[in-house]
Each structure stands twice: as structure tokens, then as C-alpha cells.
Amino acid sequence: MYKFCKDIGRGNFSKVKLAVHQLTRDSVAIKVVDRSRLDARALRMLSREVTTLECVHHPNILRLFEVVETLNRVHLVTEFISGGELYHRLINEGPIQEQQASKLFRQLLSAVRHMHNLGFVHRDIKAENVLLVNEDKVKLADFGFSTQLSNDPCRTFCGSPPYAAPELFSDDDYVGKPVDVWALGVLLYFMIIGNMPFRAPTVPALRASVLKGDYLLPGHLTLPLIRLIQRILVHVPSRRPTIEQMSQCQWLNNPPKPPSSDINRKKSGFWRIKARNIRSSRSTKDLTLLDSRTLVPIACNTRRGNSVLEDNFLFPLDVISRDEVDADQQVHASQQRRSFFGANSKKKIGPMETDRRESGKMFKRSSCVEISNASEVLNDKKHILMESKSAINIHNSVQPEEEEEGEFIMRPTFTYDLTHLHPMEVETRRILEKLGITGEMLCHSISSGPRSDVIGAYRIVINRLQKQIMLAKLKETLAKEEANATKSKGNTTSCVIL
């Protein structure tokens, strides 16, 4: 049913291979596990991974298609993620900017919250188990250490030691959810800074470092991010925030703006004076223009209480929307405008406003940069946009939250009447009919779950439709951006001085 192409990964007891489904012609990833090399603990981990992936279904969790068992091997057929691991991205290209990290971290929080709501904990969250779909989307993988919560506390030491919470090193019982929260905090630190908060050459030394709790935060980070990391990395498990509280923090809901590198400023006398004033004043507003290496690191400790454990610690600043800021700037500018040629002249020129100039509100200077960037994005992504009339029709007929959610995605509906089914399931059954898989075969295979090749083909086709819908949405968004860029390019602005 599957044709192996090449090896794309390797573990202690398994290999990950790229394969092609012979019937649907879709690419998949197959984790091949050698049973003869597994002990009882490893077999339990494999069983937990299959059980968890069958119960949790989320857009940011790796999709399981099929489980094929032979006499000596177990094959886990999952979706193929071409972007690779987040760990390799961080090692090869360095840390991620705060705005991009905020987008990816929110997706991880959504996936972990979905697991926790269903009563599961991951217990092995790390950069190696986060897969990059593209620059704007990630998926959580490797659920071998996951378990379903019960009334009894957990006792097994799980996960990677650099991401392990202090209670795991205490050789005592622990609660699963705070362990995931701690690992998310360490992962966020690694994404932003590029190294681990607690480092040591050996596991005993690492244990001592984690229990001691000392770590450093670079001074160039924004205040909401600093406080979020401090709030997560707390020694007492019960005082760590929940996933829901982390999702509502200021850093995620109001991410910082990316640094503006599109405008090349000339080294004129004005900018030399501006740089000199920045170095002398070192005001809070101008700290972002300084080199991060000149800022003093912030010493933190996981055992410190006091202000770190306040209830409102995740919301330290007043949230001001960008529209309010723009409105305040316009009012302030209108109050300071003056006549340049006298009281009777209608031409009025306001003072120099550097921030507005950078945002493209004076003479539309940044609009040209935005137009060129949009055209480059279109040229780069045109080759991946797929023309699928069925996917576009489904995209227009369903709500956005229904495109990757619903029981029908993992288990087809037990019915032969297609009138009341979801449009995506109807299209999937229509494609499978052409391949020789009837609705009766689907209904008889529901009870077998992932161990049925019919259910595997169903999940592969429905996953393909979801990707086509995503690409259709991308094409629609890029078309709108191109139309807006063309419109902005046509509206030229002229300035006449009498």
C-alpha cells in the first residue's frame, strides 16, 4: 500500500521514512519501530502514543493516519511535515524575533490546552518535538511519554532533562499539567534567546542548577515577555499559570512590532545628533535602538516569590491599541501645526514626526516597500498554489473554525446518506469512490480505527483537502494584497509649494 522513498529521521529503536500512498499518491511519513529491540517500557510508550493520537485531534498536533503491524515491526503512518524540527531551525538560523515567536508559541499553547482539556499530558515538550509546517505554523509531535490523567499523581521521570521541571528531579510524585507548563517556558526561552536557561555538562550538575533556580534574561527583551518567562519558571508547581492564563497574557495578545529595517536612514547631521541623544539619555522609548549587547542581563531565580507571584503579573502594563496611538498622534500633530508662510496661507506644515515617517504616513514612502514585498511574496508562492475547484467550493461553504475540526476528520460518519454530511466529508467520499473505496467499505471499517487501510486512505484524502483549502485561502489573501498594493501604487501623492 505504501512505497518507501528515503530515510528522513532516526531514533533509538525506530526509523522515520518518507513514503507514498500507492492509491492516493500522497506523501506520508512512516515511523518504523523494531519490536525485537523494545522492552516492556518501550512497548507501553508506543501504545500510549497511538492511544493519545487517536483521542486528540487539533490543527497544531501531528495527524495519525494508520497503524500497520507485522510480525517484527510496527508502522505508524503520519502526515509528512517538510519543514523539519524547530530545533534544527534554531540551531542553524538562530533565535526567532519576538513577533514571530509569539505567533508560534500561541499555536503550541492551543495544542497543549486541547490535550489538557481532554485529560492528557504530553510530558516531553521540547524543540525537537515541534515540527515546522512553514514559517507561520507548527505542529506538536512525539507522544510517547504522554499519559491520561487520573486521580493518582504521576511518578515516572519523563522527557528531556534540560526541559524537566524541578519536581521531576525531586524523586517524588508530581502533577502532569505544571510539568508541561514548565517545559513550555523553557522552550519559549530557547526560541527567543537561542540557548537553555539552565545548562550543565552532566545530568547531576543540571539537576543542581534547576533546583538552585538561577538564570539570566537578556536586557533587550520586552517587559511583557520578561514577566511571562518569570511567571512560568516558578519552582512551586501550584503557583505556575495555567495554559488559559498564559493565552491571555499581554505578550501574546499585543505582540511587539518587528524592527523596521526597510528604510535606509542617511547618516546626516540630524541622525548623528539623534544617536548622541539616545546614548546620553537612555530613555525607555529609545532603548530599542541600542545594541542589545550593551544592556545588562536580568538576574532571575525560580524560588523568588514576592512580586513574581502576584495574580496580575501577566498583565503589568496598560494595553493601548494601535488605532488609539495613531489617533493620539493625529490630535497631537494638529494641535502643534503652524502656518509656514503666514496666517493667510492655507498651506500648513507640521513638525517633523519620525515615528509617523517610518510608518509610511508622510509622503507614503513605505508604500513602495510594501508593494515590492507583496510582489516578491506572490512570485515566491505562486508555484505552491494549487488550483482545486472542490477545495475552493468547500472553503466558501464552511466556517473557518470548521475546516480543521470535527469528529468526521478522524472517523467517517456511519451513514450512506450524504445530504446531511459536512462538505469536506462529502468531497472525500466522492474522491474515494473514484479510487474504488465505497461508502459501505468505509462504514464497515470505522470500528477498526487506525488499523484499517480504508480509514488510512480516508484520513489521507481529507488531510489533502485541508491543505488545498489552506492554499486557497493563501491565494485569496495574496490576491487581496496584490490588489491593495496596485491601488496604493496608483494613488500617487504630490506636494506643491507655492
Element (H, E) at 131: strand 130-134
Query: Backbone phi, then psi, for 491, in 5-degree steps?
Result: -85, 85
User: 323: buried, middle or exposed (CB in 10 Å: 19+, 13-18, 0-12)?
Assistant: exposed
**Could you give the CA distance from residue 57 to residue 125 in angstroms, rounded to a whole number?**
17
Residue 107's alpha-carbon distances to 104, 122, 443, in angstroms, are 5, 15, 33
**Could you give the CA distance from residue 104 to residue 83 in angstroms, rounded to a whole number?**
14
Task: Specify the DSSP class assigned to residue 121.
Answer: E
**Could you give the CA distance from residue 428 to residue 255 in angstroms, rounded to a whole number?**
38
**Could you give the CA distance from residue 166 to residue 302 in angstroms, rounded to a whole number?**
10
Task: Find residue 132's DSSP bridge partners.
Answer: 138
Q: Mark 331-342 as b/e (b = at least 16 C-beta within 10 Å).
A: eeeeeeeeeeee
Annotation says 124 is catalytic: yes
Angle of CA points 196, 52, 168, to nearest 5°: 40
Of 107, 31, 116, which Cα lies nearest the Cα of 75? 31
Residue 428's alpha-carbon distances to 314, 423, 482, in angstroms, are 44, 9, 32
The H-assigned helical ranges of 8-56 are 40-55
For the chain, the C-alpha Rg in angstroms (whole number) is 27
Distance of CA 354 to the CA centre of its chain: 33
User: 442: buried, middle or exposed (CB in 10 Å: 19+, 13-18, 0-12)?
Assistant: buried
Distance of CA 244 to the CA centre of its chain: 16
Q: Using an 8 Å Cβ cutoff, are 50 and 33 in contact? A: no
The H-assigned helical ranges of 382-452 are 389-397, 423-435, 439-445
Active-site residue, selected from the candidate residues 124, 142, 180, 453:
124
What type of residue sits at position 120?
A: F
**Could you give the CA distance from residue 44 to residue 74 in angstroms, rounded to a whole number?**
13
The residues that are catalytic are 124
